A and B are shown apart, each in its own frame.
Chain A
Amino acid sequence: MEATEARTIRQKLKTYITAEIIKNAEYPLRDDEPLISGGLIDSFSIAHIAVFIETEIGVRIPDTDLTLDTMDSIDRMCARIAVAMAGPEDRRSP
């Protein structure tokens, strides 16, 4: 993945999470800030972030991978997205 593309993805995610999930676009979210274990976003939101990643970034993260390890911060999400972009995987349902 190109560095600029990675930066764009990171920014898109951050904008979406602060504006739509935390509902405070001004929130100074750090890339390593724990989102779920830090009590910032609830587990319902994880499903919606996954949909956002799929529709806006074009990467599908299998729902069995939507865990604390892959989703607890912007850094972790970006790492998982990079893995998905590096090699094709398709365990689709719906």
Chain B
Amino acid sequence: MSDSRVEFRAARYRSLGEPLLEWFRADPERIALIIVHDDESEETLTVRQLHLQACACAGTLRENGLRPGEIAILALRHCRELLAFFWGCIYAGMVPAIVAYKGPMTTAAAYIQRLKDHVGNTGCRLVVTLPELKAGAEEALAATGCRVMAIRGGGDGGADAPGAAADIFSSLPRSGGEDIAYLQFSSGSSGSPKGVLLSHRAILNQVQSYITTIGIKEDDKVVNWLPLYHDFGLFGGLVIPLFASIPSVLLSPFKWLRNPLFHLRLIQRHAGTISFMPNSALNHTVRFAAGRDLRDLDLSSLRLLINGSEPILYESQQEFLHSFARFGFRESALASGYGMAENTLGVSYCAGDRGNPVDWVSAGTMQSRQEALPAPPRAEGAKPNVSSGKAMENMEIAIANASGRHLPERSIGEIVFKSPSLFSGYHGDPGRTAAVLKGGWYHSGDLGYIAAGHLYVCGRKKDLIIVGGHNIHPEDLERIAGGVPGIHADRVVALGVLDKALGTEKIVMLCGLEKPASEEEQAALEKELRQRIFSRMEITPAEVRFVEKNWIERTQNGKIARPANLEKYEKLIRGA
């Protein structure tokens, strides 16, 4: 493979439309994207096709009354039209926001309710979706003034759309890039999803940092299954490859979930060199592969498998390596990163000949002294922490104590960072923005330490549960539980408990009862609660436990004390 590194200079551009347009002008017949459908058929898009389709979509959006700066929610399944409308919005200066399409396990009614929450929170003017949801969405959104537009979206729509509006670029942002380019919903659920506003400038800067830090080469090829409604999928799988002028093979997350080995087969078929997997995806793949015939699998083309968006477990990486090394998977491909939607995508990254560094530390001092002191590998009481890497190009990471003072190496505190790809704020919530952006430093709410320049993430200060790379706010779960008659509204706690077998956190719900309930009554309450949570949030708690209402610990000012309840729960489990 060629060693020529891709160079991308963000300062040359003022909008996300420009790098794509530049590639189109320079090399229109190059393959940009390969879309893999759920029936395993493939659809190839050249840069010219993508560009022309984006132009056509930009025209359609205008015809539907959308003006530059206005938000369009793209509620589409994995298909060419999703990509074309995303770029169409960008070309026309509108702000796209991709949301998950209705899953095969969700009802239309529950999904439309979620769409309504998103529209209500963002003042979105247009929802682009598929015909099956049009009537329902229109009815639900009638009072909001938001229009619904249905497209065919089976990948069979007009191929080249040569009638694209010629003046489409007149609305490309000219301001210097500070205009908002994209709205990223940072948690997929809830009545109040956080809308992260990203400017053209922030995204362009992230692309430069990512391409340079990872060392993307001209011959690289990305194979991605991560959803495009997630920052990792959108930027890692779509925007960065396009701006690096390398092809990306895009597979739907549903297909991956139901058959994770197909992702590996695609890497083999396309000689993919870069792919992404949150930690739990490693576990899902290993578990799915067990006992299956993989004889002719060949993963030797893969040079980077980047693990990010949830805590990275040493065990998950080792099991993946153990399962796939004999199929050509190299240890040096184990790469890792840390990031968040508020920084567009990545903050830190590393890879090495022996994979990412592992720091063995004394688990005891981490707890008692808030310090990560080195311990001999595999010794009694030693814990392996996998590096999340070093600060990416143009970024600076520090560890801060409660008063914001930066701490020395190996002290545990809040991860804070400075970066040119930070968000412009939370949509309509300056208070929330000010709470995390202080003096130019973004306060992540995550806990970690730095050793030899490497960042190790080891906990969370904020109340957040991360399941399979998706952020879940415990308050959302608690609100739903509190609404179930029989469960005490103010005595419910939702916890994220690490499950090493799954490689991610699992949701445990402890529910205080309004009055003592029989086993049958509790079983009925549990059913009602599970069904409500699934229909509203499309997630499933691993465990629901009923307790006497005073069992739930509260703080002095009456709030739910999550750390205290977690400790109490863990004691309960150990005692059982």
Interface string of A22-60 (1 = CB under 8 A from B): 000000000000101111111110111011000100000
Let me know if A68 is at the binding interface, CB within 8 A. Answer: yes
Bound complex: CA A40 to CA B529 (Å): 10
Let me know if A93 is at the binding interface, CB within 8 A. Answer: yes
* 8 Å CB contact of A39 from B259, B502, B531: B531
Not counting A39-B530, A39-B533, a sample of 10 additional A-B residue pairs whose C-beta atoms are within 8 angstroms of each other reads: A36-B105, A46-B105, A46-B257, A47-B259, A47-B284, A64-B39, A66-B104, A67-B104, A93-B259, A94-B265
Let me know if A89 is at the binding interface, CB within 8 A. Answer: no
Which of A34, A38, A46 has the largest count of B CB atoms less than 10 A from its CB?
A38
Bound complex: CA A48 to CA B535 (Å): 22
Is A41 a contact partner of B262 (Cβ separation < 8 A)?
A: no
CB-CB < 8 A to B533: which residues of A? Answer: 39
* 8 Å CB contact of B262 from A39, A43, A91, A94: A94
Is B284 a contact partner of A39 (Cβ separation < 8 A)?
A: no
Bound complex: CA A41 to CA B294 (Å): 28
Residue total for B at the interface (Cβ-Cβ under 8 A): 36
Is B257 a contact partner of A38 (Cβ separation < 8 A)?
A: no
CB-CB < 8 A to A36: which residues of B? Answer: 105, 534
Interchain nearest-CB distance for B94 vs A (Å): 32
Bound complex: CA A5 to CA B240 (Å): 53
CB-CB < 8 A to B260: which residues of A? Answer: 47
Bound complex: CA A39 to CA B527 (Å): 8
A69 nearest CB neighbor, chain B only:
B104
Bound complex: CA A34 to CA B262 (Å): 28
**What are 29 A-B pairs with beta-carbon distances under 8 A?**
A37-B107, A37-B531, A37-B534, A37-B535, A38-B531, A39-B529, A39-B531, A39-B533, A39-B534, A39-B535, A39-B541, A40-B540, A41-B540, A43-B103, A44-B468, A44-B502, A46-B105, A46-B257, A46-B258, A47-B258, A47-B260, A63-B258, A66-B258, A68-B104, A93-B259, A93-B261, A93-B262, A94-B259, A94-B294
Is A43 a contact partner of B530 (Cβ separation < 8 A)?
A: no
Is A93 a contact partner of B265 (Cβ separation < 8 A)?
A: yes
Interchain nearest-CB distance for B265 vs A (Å): 6
**Residues of chain B having any CB pair with chain A under 8 Å:** 38-40, 103-107, 255, 257-262, 264-265, 284, 287-288, 291-292, 294, 468, 502, 527, 529-535, 539-541
CB-CB < 8 A to A67: which residues of B? Answer: 104-105
Is A42 a contact partner of B104 (Cβ separation < 8 A)?
A: no
Is B38 a contact partner of A64 (Cβ separation < 8 A)?
A: yes
CB-CB < 8 A to A44: which residues of B? Answer: 257, 284, 468, 502
CB-CB < 8 A to A46: which residues of B? Answer: 105, 257-258
Interface string of A50-84 (1 = CB under 8 A from B): 11000100000001101110001000000000000
CB-CB < 8 A to A43: which residues of B? Answer: 103, 105, 257
Bound complex: CA A66 to CA B284 (Å): 16
CB-CB < 8 A to A51: which residues of B? Answer: 288, 292
A34 nearest CB neighbor, chain B only:
B531
Is B107 a contact partner of A63 (Cβ separation < 8 A)?
A: no
Majority secondary structure of chain A interface residues (helix, strand, loop or mixed): loop
CB-CB < 8 A to B294: which residues of A? Answer: 94
Interchain nearest-CB distance for B402 vs A (Å): 36
Interchain nearest-CB distance for B105 vs A (Å): 5
Bound complex: CA A37 to CA B105 (Å): 7
Bound complex: CA A39 to CA B106 (Å): 11
- Known contacts: A48-B287, A51-B288, A93-B40. The answer to whether A38 contacts B530 by CB under 8 A is yes
CB-CB < 8 A to B38: which residues of A? Answer: 63-64
A44 nearest CB neighbor, chain B only:
B284
CB-CB < 8 A to A37: which residues of B? Answer: 105, 107, 531, 534-535
Interchain nearest-CB distance for A12 vs B (Å): 16
Bound complex: CA A93 to CA B532 (Å): 35
CB-CB < 8 A to A42: which residues of B? Answer: 539-540
Interchain nearest-CB distance for B256 vs A (Å): 9
Interchain nearest-CB distance for B157 vs A (Å): 21
Interchain nearest-CB distance for A92 vs B (Å): 10
- Known contacts: A47-B284, A55-B291, A66-B104. The answer to whether A40 contacts B530 by CB under 8 A is yes
Is A63 a contact partner of B255 (Cβ separation < 8 A)?
A: yes
CB-CB < 8 A to B468: which residues of A? Answer: 44
Bound complex: CA A43 to CA B256 (Å): 11
Is A38 a contact partner of B104 (Cβ separation < 8 A)?
A: no
Bound complex: CA A51 to CA B260 (Å): 11
Which of A39, A63, A66 has the largest count of B CB atoms less than 10 A from its CB?
A39
Bound complex: CA A63 to CA B292 (Å): 16
Bound complex: CA A59 to CA B292 (Å): 14
Interchain nearest-CB distance for B422 vs A (Å): 33
CB-CB < 8 A to A64: which residues of B? Answer: 38-39
B294 nearest CB neighbor, chain A only:
A94
* 8 Å CB contact of B259 from A41, A63, A68: A63
